[in-house]
Amino acid sequence: MGEFSFIQWIRKRQKRRKDVMLGIGDDCAVIDVSSDTVCLITTDMLVDGTHFDLKKCTVQDAGRKAIACSISDVAAMGCQPTVAVISVCFPDHTPEKFARELYKGIWGIADKYAIEIVGGDIISGRSPFCINVTMLGRDDGLKPIRRSGARAGDAILVTGTLGGSILGKHLSFEPRLKESLVLNKNFTIHAMIDVSDGLTADLNHILEESSVGAVLYEDRIPVSHAAVELSKKTGHKPLYHALSDGEDYELLMTLSRNQAKRLLSFGLLKNVKVSCIGEIVKEHGIRMKSSGGNIRHIKPRGYEHLKS
């Protein structure tokens, strides 16, 4: 079983409500709550040993990451997060200090973005430490940006640099919320997602939802220093890590060439690098164009739970 094929199985069988504008299959679901307001909702579960390792990081780091991932999901829709509920499973006999440290990590980032923790559930079990965050967001008159709006001819842009997040960024990343709101207010973004599974995997989510394909420009992929560092240990090329590693939590988007030109010269995002890494095409799949002009097919590769 693969995570994504199982989600497709669920999605096909799920009965729909009229007030649900967007259900399973995007960074957030979108619910129509009144004539002029929508409510966004996203949920993320993180477990010790998979999403972080408490032997190598603090529980504050883990709490911060759980909140930051959910903020990034709301940012991926171009909307504003508001409140969250948090469930925690503590291993039996967890000391109180550990639990309080967790909340310090949570509040450190939640307060910064004015997100109120409005409820939760605290349980214990014969289980590794596990945390689930559900976050709500609101549109504030903006249109939530879906994965499904990419069109042939669009430019593909990504913020920041990619790869090797396991060396630190997967814990310390700043969700691109401010940038996301600036983008949604000032540009017509056709499709957007945050890079959590990996660049090609997340691009593939956009392509599948939009029924289009993509050509990537090999020499334009913004390879991070961490990807270079990691490549020395793994033997893979830095580009491999930039294309395949997850948890950079950068914004990957598509928009018209004209909008893209305007964005690339736009002042408000000057503190964050934005790269044009490719274009949307009609032909399905992902192809890579080298600097020499050679084109080859590549398979989306990234982290997938449940994959045997």
Closest residue by Cα to residue 71 from 144, 185, 203, 174: 174
123 lies in the binding site for its own copies (CB under 8 A)? yes
Residue of 111, 140, 219, 283 that binds its own copies (CB under 8 A): 111
Applying the rule CB under 8 A, the residues between 23 and 42 that interact with its own copies are: 23-24, 26, 28-29, 31, 33-37, 39, 41-42
Nearer to its own copies, 205 or 218 (CB): 205
Distance CA 121, CA 216 (A): 44
Q: Does 292 bind its own copies (CB under 8 A)?
A: no
Residue 108, interface with its own copies (CB under 8 A)? no
Q: Does 140 bind its own copies (CB under 8 A)?
A: no
- Please pick, from the candidates 53, 108, 121, 262, the single residue that binds its own copies as defined by CB under 8 A: 121
* Residues 69, 70, 72: CA angle, nearest 5 degrees: 65
Query: Among residue numbers 234 through 253, which ones bind its own copies (CB under 8 A)?
Result: none
Nearer to its own copies, 122 or 295 (CB): 122
Indicate whether 283 belongs to the interface with its own copies (CB under 8 A).
no
Q: Name which of 69 and 269 has its Cβ closer to its own copies.
A: 69
- Of 53, 108, 124, 283, which lies in the binding site for its own copies, with binding defined by CB under 8 A? 124
Q: State how far Cα 279 lies from the chain centre.
A: 20
Applying the rule CB under 8 A, the residues between 54 and 93 that interact with its own copies are 82-83, 85-90, 93
Residue 112 contacts its own copies per CB under 8 A: no
Query: What does each C-alpha distance from 131 to 42, 63, 73, 222, 296 come to in angstroms?
Result: 14, 8, 16, 32, 41
Name every residue whose Cβ is closer than 8 Å to that of residue 295 and which is 6 or more positions away in sequence.
Answer: 215, 287, 288, 289
Closest C-alpha among 39, 205, 10, 220 to residue 138: 39
Determine, following the binding rule CB under 8 A, whether residue 142 of this chain makes contact with its own copies.
no
Q: Show the tokens assigned to 291.
A: 């600097």
Strands 80-91 and 130-138: antiparallel
Three-class SS state of 281: strand
Any contact of residue 153 with its own copies (CB under 8 A)? no
Rounded to a whole number of angstroms, the minimum distance from the CB of residue 225 to its own copies is 29
To the nearest whole angstrom, how small is the minimum distance from the Cβ of residue 193 to its own copies? Answer: 14
CA distance readout (Å), 110 to 156, 210, 224:
30, 33, 27
The smaller minimum CB distance to its own copies, of residues 145 and 216, is found at 145
